[in-house]
Structures are given as C-alpha cells and as structure tokens.
Chain A
Amino acid sequence: DQQVKQNSPSLSVQEGRISILNCDYTNSMFDYFLWYKKYPAEGPTFLISISSIKDKNEDGRFTVFLNKSAKHLSLHIVPSQPGDSAVYFCAAINNNDMRFGAGTRLTVKP
C-alpha cells in the first residue's frame, strides 16, 4: 500500500531551466510533507518541507507547492544546476509516521 507516489522515475533538464518534481499521496491525514535529496552511495538529506496548512514554501532556488484538494505536491528548482543531479524523495507525515515515495532521479545537463 504505497501512500506516497512519485510516478516519474526520472527527469532530465537543461542547466538553467526549471526542474519540476511531482508527488501524489492518498492519505488525507498527512499533515506535513518533506523533500529529501540523495546522492549515490549516500543517505538522503533533508531539503525542504511544507505544512498542510500552507500551499507554498520557498527556500532559495527550491519551492514546494502543495495542492491539498488534488493530494499533490511538487518541488520546483529554479534555475537548475548540474549539482542538483540526484534522486529526490518525497515524504509525508501523519502522527509521527513518515512515508516515502520511490524517488525521482533528476539529471541536469550542462
């Protein structure tokens, strides 16, 4: 029962353009959402989060958008840089229980 889904296993973007990574969830009880970034042979690192009472949170080049009615969130990276190439995991929390998506591999081409 995958409550958090990232339907795109990979995404390729040109340097300087926008990267949009998507995430869908099924459990309406999730009240907090996070994005993690993972490089090969390393553990995921926390990137940005958003509470369910908000619809947008911005941190530098990274912005997370939440559409509760659609049960959908997205991570925008603008402008994309080659160093952003990594696997991005979406995660959602309900009552201290964190669920992860399968990840999207982002490749930013120079």
Chain B
Amino acid sequence: DGGITQSPKYLFRKEGQNVTLSCEQNLNHDAMYWYRQDPGQGLRLIYYSQIVNDFQKGDIAEGYSVSREKKESFPLTVTSAQKNPTAFYLCASSQKGGILRGYTFGSGTRLTVV
C-alpha cells in the first residue's frame, strides 16, 4: 500500500540534544512538507521541498533543518536551537501540481523534551 511513514511515533529528547524525525513516502510524490501542530493552533509549515536536493523554509523554520537527498525521504532535524520543540510533527506529500487534491499526511511523531 502506498503511503507516508513517519517514525518514531513517540520521541523523547533531553534539552540540548538534536533529534531527527524520519519521513518516507512510496507515493512517487514530488513535493514533501513538514508541519508542526500545537494545541489551539493550526498546522504551521516548517520546511517544504518541491524537488530532490531543493527545499525552502516555511513560516517557522528557525531551529530546524532538513535534507532531501532522495525523492522518497525528507528527514527533519530538531536542533538544540529550537526553543520550544515539544509538539506533534506531521509530514505530508503531494504530487507536483496536485495540491488541489490535498496532501497525504503521515501519522505524525510526538516529540517531548524532558
């Protein structure tokens, strides 16, 4: 079955540590996105990539980094510079020119800083 896989589902990080969230898709989608969800707020865009080896900052990119070395993979690193990293992180993908059919989302990773 085609879809997006995010791992792990739950992640705990100590303050000052970097952590990488995995996102893999087998839908052959060109575009991939990372969102963050906080209580009472909409999904906020962190980074997006329209094509391999290219990515752009979203609205809240500070303290995060990404790479897009393969079409299928778009890992997100939460660095120690991110002041409030505890949140629910969602990865999504879409076909090129297919935004009107909506994104396909993964099941998310809940990151907690302890």
Contact = CB atoms under 8 A, between A and B. Distances in A.
Contacts of B101: 46, 49
Nearest to A93: B99
A93 to B, nearest CB: 6
A102 B42 contact: yes
Interface string A31-48: 010101000011111100
A102 B99 contact: no
A25 to B, nearest CB: 11
B50 to A, nearest CB: 9
B32 interface: no
A108 B35 CA distance: 28
Contacts of B6: 43
Contacts of B102: 34, 36, 46, 49
Interface string A57-101: 000000000000000000000000000000001000100101111
B17 interface: no
Nearest to A31: B100
B106 interface: yes
Nearest to B39: A102
Contact of B43 (A49, A93, A100): A100
A4 interface: yes
Interface of A: 2, 4, 6, 9, 32, 34, 36, 41-46, 49, 89, 93, 96, 98-103
21 contacts: A9-B40, A32-B100, A34-B102, A41-B9, A41-B108, A42-B107, A42-B108, A43-B4, A43-B6, A43-B105, A43-B108, A44-B43, A46-B102, A49-B100, A49-B101, A93-B99, A93-B100, A98-B45, A99-B42, A102-B40, A102-B41
